Structure 1
Amino acid sequence: MDHYSFFDRDLSWLLFNERILMEAGKETLPLMERVNFLSIFSSNLDEFYRVRMPVLLALHNLAKHGNSEKEDVLLEAQELIGHQQQKFGQVFTGEIIPLLKAPKITLLFNEPIPNEIADKVSDYFYSQVMAFLQPIDLADTKKNFFPENNRLYFLVNLQAENKTERNVILNIPSNQLPRFYGVNTDDGQYIVFLDDIIRHNLDKLFKNEVLTGCYSIKITRDAELDLDDEYQGDLSEQVEKQLLKRDLGIATRFLHQPGVPLRTLHFITDKFNLQSSSVVEGGMYHNLKDLSGLPVNNPSLRYTRWAPLVGYHVSDAGSLFDHIETRDYIFHTPYQSYNTILRFFNEAATDISVKEISVTLYRVASDSRIVNALISAANNGKKVRVMVELKARFDEANNIKWAKKMKAVGVDIIYSNTALKVHAKIALVKRQVDGRDKYSGLLATGNFNESTAAFYTDHIMMTANSLLLREMELLFMFLAKGKKSADGYPIDFKHLLVAQFNLQDRFLVLIDQEIANAKQGLPAFITIKLNNLEERTLIAKLYEASQAGVKISLIVRSICCLIPGVQGMSENITIKRIVDRYLEHGRIFIFHNRGDEKVFLGSADWMNRNIYRRVEVCFPVYDNHIKAEVLQLINLQLNDNVQAVRLNNELQNINIQPIPPLVQSQKAIYEFLKSKLND
């Protein structure tokens, strides 16, 4: 493996975020969709500073002392981010804000509030905003102020009549009020930042002092939870305690607007102990992820909605589980409706023949219909066993909430060990019919979450295949043990690919089979679609396959450490990245197998965490009709020349020449599935 090259994961992720920014810059997109992509870019960057920047800062410090074997890419990452933020500003202020004026929408950006709306803005300040303002004098030693993660503040410089100066921190309460305030006039709509409403009215707060400066600031903090592997108590209690500390983590970024006096900057840096964070000069406004909340209600400025299709005309007569016994079903969200998946859980909760329900939950909706169905099932006397992953980043609190509610009605709640996340997406229902046990199962590439199913592309298979369901039952038995690893707990999975047991080894064997075919002069192809590709053993095996002549087509949404198109290493590997109205999320693995394709779907990306620190499940597609359908969908994506870009050997996003026929894969998939309604 030493002779192979790999791209840095963090630089790769930043280049994915650049692809999001490219979408915001597309003149062909509806205007508010461009704004949404700016919002996504900003949100992604905030998460990068919370999750990855602490790692880069630590590696940089180790490298300075010669103690790191890993590449120090901090400065390269900061430079890349700087260029991207400049592009962000050009798109937002140079294109989008001027274009909003055509539909008579004026977004005030770093400009005075016009006289014609000043009275309404002032009234809004007095009646709504003022209630949440809490100025803190930084010289007041009695007040121990600590700036919270990603909250917005003003640093206000004031001078009294006796020329004494003081520095005040003033909160911008965007966590309690909308970030934007819309005012309609005869000439159209004005939209005002909450920040500017406060700036405009600072004299109402500081009546006897002269305002000498007002600067917006934001501090981003490390999001990592410090969980004790040896903790013997209730895991939910440990996670809850750590969540209370999350927003008190080490500062990774100090973002401030331009023009802050150097003396003031040093004062704030010392006051809040920000010496080890990245000090970044940004714009006048921070948290521009809030742009998704712009109060613009003009449908012509957004995508034309694609109504979810009915995946299968599953008869209302009889039990859904009886239908599943006759054939496998697959649903492709969000193109197809999620209702049949909800029906699966709802019928399981109320069907008197259902005796047991087992399910893994990683991220669920805040008002989850699925969890409510599980609660009803327990109240209806069924045995319900739920593996709740409390360590799903940024969803911990929601998962704890639901775990407590389920536990209160007698659901058997299982938590994973602190060293191991359960990321598998599986559900198993056991019925008793005429004295016999019958099983039905769900296996999915994405979470059991009806909210994200509206914009994440995923695949959910319903099956009664005993070969798969028996292995699912064995896996649930393992999860109930709460083991740190699979060591000493052998399960000989023949059909499912399960991380911690056989997933990596099986993928390596499947690649080796294509290598053997290529060496025999037979056609050899591998097609893989996933979100992230980092794990070096699997990448090295793909390099080996490329060298043997195997043609490899990859669709990688985000992180990609494989370098394509390098002579003698990866010249037979191509990589595409697709960004469109839906978030690409499904994982698909296809091996040519001498023309009898082996197709797998599942929850696992090829990241170190998925392979070594999670329980993941990938599952084979045995039904020939479903297999053909999946192959058709992936073929449309491989031929996308509208929303796809090609990754070159520097992992830059290279636009594909739009030579007819034009294929926009998400639209083509929707039309393809729509055409099947009449089959």
Structure 2
Amino acid sequence: MEAQTNSSFFNRDLSWLKFNERILMEAERDTVPLLERIKFLSIFSSNLDEFYRVRMPVLLALEKLSNREDNDIQIEADLLQSANNMIAGQQQRYGKVLKGDIIPGLKENGINFIYGNPFPAAIVKETSRYFLSQVLAFMQPVYLNRDTKFFPSNNELYFLITLKDKDDEKQVILNIPSNELPRFYKIDHAKESFVVFLDDIIRFNLNSIFRDAEITGCFSFKITRDAEIDLKDEYSGSLSEQLEAQLQKRDAGLATRFLHQPGIPGSVLVLLKKLFNLKKASMVEGGQYHNLKDFIGFPVKNPDLSNAAWPKICNTDTITGTLTEAILKNDIIIHTPYQSYDSVLRFFNEAAVDPDVQEIYLTIYRVASDSKIINALISAARNGKKVFVLVELKARFDEANNIKWAKKMKAQGVEIVYSVTALKVHAKVALVKRKIGDRLLYTGLLATGNFNESTASFYTDHILMTANKAILREIELLFIFLAKRVKPSSSDLINFEHILVAQFNLQQKFIALIDREIDFAKSGKEASITIKLNNLEEKVLINKLYEASQAGVQVTMIVRSICRLVLGLKNVSENIKIIRIVDRYLEHGRIFIFNNLGANDVYLGSADWMNRNIYRRIEVCFPVYDEKIKAEILDIVNIQKQDNLQAVIIDEQMENVPIKETKPLIASQQSIYEFLKA
């Protein structure tokens, strides 16, 4: 099949913004409990901040390149403008649902969310007391002049305050300490509750700071700064080099957005542009309040306004004896967060104290800030076991946490290895080696998500516990390779027959599995593929799916976020269906199902189909051989394919199209929970 043109692929950044729109749609739905709608507003805001940090620098650089007369590289026309228009429309919808639905809904339930106006008399004394006793300690005013040296931190909140002191006009930057104090303050008075912004508690008590001056203005703002990205993950050749050159011209952490409350005097904006080096930033007028991701900590608890609780299922509670003995008999799978992560903690805890355990191996990409798993590894090392941990220091935004734990483990005798500079290790695998008499026994964990008990409470993932010798021997070979700290080359390639490892055989194996379904379809046999991913971007594999569709293979994709595959292309993608599911949990597990004439080859793993996963990382996908577990995975995926409440179809225009509700009504996450509970 000929390679598809650029018109056969959605833009990755616009597709990502469409995913964020899907989050916003949940906040707009009146069938979603009120406090859950507030959480979706928080997630939307958090995602948008990350977009400005990670993606907007690239769009700005692309825009500059596209305006150069000497550039013959094809760049999508008006990409930056399209993104800005999409964001502006979504923010209007955000404000509409917050002011028109959620705040009135809170009021109906006795919760007065006060913003923008002076506080009611009933709470003035309490808020002033809180300011003077708790907030004032964090106030750090900075008076501005042309020599001021002040660097506003990324995404932190500030006020620009204008003062009149006798005949002098002054400008002051005042921090809003939302990282040190809760963003919202709740006061119960009589039979009502009042919730106010920390911002307003400061705003209405400014006279306690500036006693001898007239306060003539108070305007909130924040600056979003770029985060380092690897352009080779997505661009190649000349374009990648030109983008790199553009971005290298900028100071580290240069501002990409200056978001401010309307009304700042023009002369003051000119001063701020110069002082804060904002000449390349988008100057965006927003509302009075920023960082609305802080809604995740909205201080109201009301079960009537929240999702019904789903108590965690612990499917290893019935095990008699050790977990290891159970794994040696049969594979075990844990589906978080429906099922308790305690089983995973038990796996490491038992290994740490088991006298037969000699060695423990683990990859770390993102771990909890108070990781119980790492504490178990430290105990294992202190108990005399060899503990080997591959720590990925390049996990964006988790670098500091990973460094902290790496130092702590190393100090306690854990062997720490960092990944090679040019290659991220994103695989989620663990191996435990026991020696009982003359026998070596291997048990292992292979997962679709991080070894992180915090995110396991709201990420849907799959963790396979296995003693399969063939699989775990290959995991051991992978750890031996990772310890060398080298990039894979032709002389290093390991002949993996069971697991799929990016840089070795992953892409080739997926292509071979798709080709087999194509051959079945061409010979008139049943052929189908079902793939669940977080992101679908890489063109070689998308083109292979187009080829499968052309051959008559029925392809179903469940894609949470970025999706570059275009539906509805005549004679290209007519046999492909794509759905996106957003609900109370974040869909995160990757699942790959190839019909194989009804035998169903099933793989799970860490790899999305993005350039970075395929070409720039070590990823592991693994087969499900246990027939009972395979059937369970198939049942779970079939439930998701039938979702007609929380799923939308991604159409040929990249829009999130709700599925026509037909009975039975199925919200897949609730159905999966009931299925696993039964």
CA positional deviation for 1:360? 0.6
Counterpart amino acid of residue 212 in structure 1: T
* Corresponding residue number in structure 2 for 1:243: none
1:82 and 2:85 aligned = no
CA positional deviation for 1:71? 2.1
Counterpart amino acid of residue 537 in structure 1: V
* Corresponding residue number in structure 2 for 1:648: 651
Distance 1:313 1:465 in 2: 22
How many residues are aligned here?
Answer: 654
Distance 2:75 2:540 in 1: 17
1:535 and 2:538 aligned = yes
* Corresponding residue number in structure 2 for 1:181: 185
Pick from 616, 621, 626 the counterpart of residue 624 of structure 2.
621
* Corresponding residue number in structure 2 for 1:453: 456
Distance 1:341 1:580 in 2: 24
For the 8 Å contact 1:42–1:289, the answer to whether it is kept is yes
Counterpart amino acid of residue 502 in structure 2: A
CA positional deviation for 1:208? 2.3
For the 8 Å contact 2:488–2:504, the answer to whether it is kept is no
For the 8 Å contact 1:149–1:248, the answer to whether it is kept is no
Instruction: List gaps (5 residues or longer) in structure 1.
Output: 228-245
Pick from 302, 307, 313 the counterpart of residue 306 of structure 2.
302
Residue-by-residue CA offset, 1:82-129 (whole Å, 9 max, x unaligned): 000000000111110111011211111211111111111111111111
CA positional deviation for 1:340? 1.4
Pick from 205, 222, 225 the counterpart of residue 226 of structure 2.
222
Pick from 188, 213, 217 the counterpart of residue 213 of structure 1.
217
* Corresponding residue number in structure 2 for 1:156: 161
* Corresponding residue number in structure 2 for 1:553: 556
* Corresponding residue number in structure 2 for 1:147: 152
For the 8 Å contact 1:148–1:247, the answer to whether it is kept is no
Distance 1:226 1:13 in 2: 18
Distance 1:226 1:129 in 2: 40
Distance 1:188 1:540 in 2: 59
Residue-by-residue CA offset, 1:330-383 (whole Å, 9 max, x unaligned): 111111111111111011111101100111111111111110010000000001
CA positional deviation for 1:435? 1.2
Counterpart amino acid of residue 94 in structure 1: G
Counterpart amino acid of residue 625 in structure 2: Y
Distance 2:343 2:178 in 1: 38
Pick from 418, 427, 430 the counterpart of residue 427 of structure 1.
430
For the 8 Å contact 1:388–1:415, the answer to whether it is kept is yes
* Corresponding residue number in structure 2 for 1:98: 104
* Corresponding residue number in structure 1 for 2:238: none
Distance 1:312 1:370 in 2: 18
Counterpart amino acid of residue 340 in structure 2: S
For the 8 Å contact 2:336–2:457, the answer to whether it is kept is yes
CA positional deviation for 1:247? 11
For the 8 Å contact 1:457–1:586, the answer to whether it is kept is yes
Distance 2:633 2:160 in 1: 55
Residue-by-residue CA offset, 1:142-161 (whole Å, 9 max, x unaligned): x5111110010111111222
CA positional deviation for 1:260? 2.3
Deviates more, 1:321-330 or 1:644-653: 321-330
Give the secondary structure class of the aligned counterpart of 2:108. coil
Give the secondary structure class of the aligned counterpart of 1:146. coil
Pick from 327, 348, 361 the counterpart of residue 324 of structure 1.
327
Give the secondary structure class of the aligned counterpart of 1:121. helix
1:127 and 2:130 aligned = no
CA positional deviation for 1:225? 7.1
Counterpart amino acid of residue 382 in structure 1: K
Pick from 292, 295, 320 the counterpart of residue 296 of structure 2.
292
Give the secondary structure class of the aligned counterpart of 1:391. coil
Distance 1:361 1:591 in 2: 29
* Corresponding residue number in structure 2 for 1:10: 13
Distance 1:346 1:199, change over 3 A: same
What are the equivalent positions in structure 2 for 1:161-176 lying under 5 Å apart? 161-162=166-167, 164-176=168-180
CA positional deviation for 1:408? 0.6
CA positional deviation for 1:498? 0.3
* Corresponding residue number in structure 2 for 1:21: 24
What are the equivalent positions in structure 2 for 1:341-420 lying under 5 Å apart? 341-420=344-423
* Corresponding residue number in structure 2 for 1:275: 279
Distance 1:523 1:673 in 2: 29
Counterpart amino acid of residue 19 in structure 1: R
Residue-by-residue CA offset, 1:600-622 (whole Å, 9 max, x unaligned): 00000001000001000000111
CA positional deviation for 1:248? 6.0
* Corresponding residue number in structure 2 for 1:198: 202
Deviates more, 1:118-127 or 1:597-606: 118-127
Counterpart amino acid of residue 213 in structure 1: G
Distance 1:209 1:313, change over 3 A: closer
1:260 and 2:264 aligned = yes
For the 8 Å contact 1:500–1:611, the answer to whether it is kept is yes
Give the secondary structure class of the aligned counterpart of 1:560. coil
Distance 1:62 1:426 in 2: 42
CA RMSD after TM alignment: 1.5
1:471 and 2:470 aligned = no
Pick from 441, 457, 461 the counterpart of residue 444 of structure 2.
441
Distance 1:673 1:627 in 2: 14
For the 8 Å contact 1:314–1:320, the answer to whether it is kept is no
Give the secondary structure class of the aligned counterpart of 1:101. helix
For the 8 Å contact 1:148–1:248, the answer to whether it is kept is no
Deviates more, 1:25-34 or 1:206-215: 206-215
CA positional deviation for 1:263? 2.7
CA positional deviation for 1:254? 0.6
Distance 1:550 1:55 in 2: 36
The normalised TM-score by structure 1 is: 0.94
Distance 1:226 1:309 in 2: 40
Instruction: List gaps (5 residues or longer) in structure 2.
Output: 232-249
* Corresponding residue number in structure 2 for 1:241: none
Counterpart amino acid of residue 284 in structure 2: V
Residue-by-residue CA offset, 1:410-443 (whole Å, 9 max, x unaligned): 1110100111000001011110012111111111
* Corresponding residue number in structure 1 for 2:123: 117
Counterpart amino acid of residue 399 in structure 2: E
Give the secondary structure class of the aligned counterpart of 2:37. helix
CA positional deviation for 1:3? 3.5
The normalised TM-score by structure 2 is: 0.95
Residue-by-residue CA offset, 1:480-522 (whole Å, 9 max, x unaligned): 0011234420200111000000000000111111111111111
CA positional deviation for 1:316? 3.5
For the 8 Å contact 2:4–2:543, the answer to whether it is kept is no
Counterpart amino acid of residue 458 in structure 1: D
Give the secondary structure class of the aligned counterpart of 1:295. coil
Residue-by-residue CA offset, 1:306-346 (whole Å, 9 max, x unaligned): 011122445232x3222211111111111111111111101
Distance 1:93 1:583 in 2: 26
Give the secondary structure class of the aligned counterpart of 1:147. coil
Pick from 559, 563, 568 the counterpart of residue 566 of structure 2.
563
Deviates more, 1:246-255 or 1:514-523: 246-255
Distance 2:196 2:327 in 1: 54
Give the secondary structure class of the aligned counterpart of 1:622. coil
Distance 1:616 1:254, change over 3 A: same
1:519 and 2:522 aligned = yes
Distance 1:316 1:405 in 2: 34
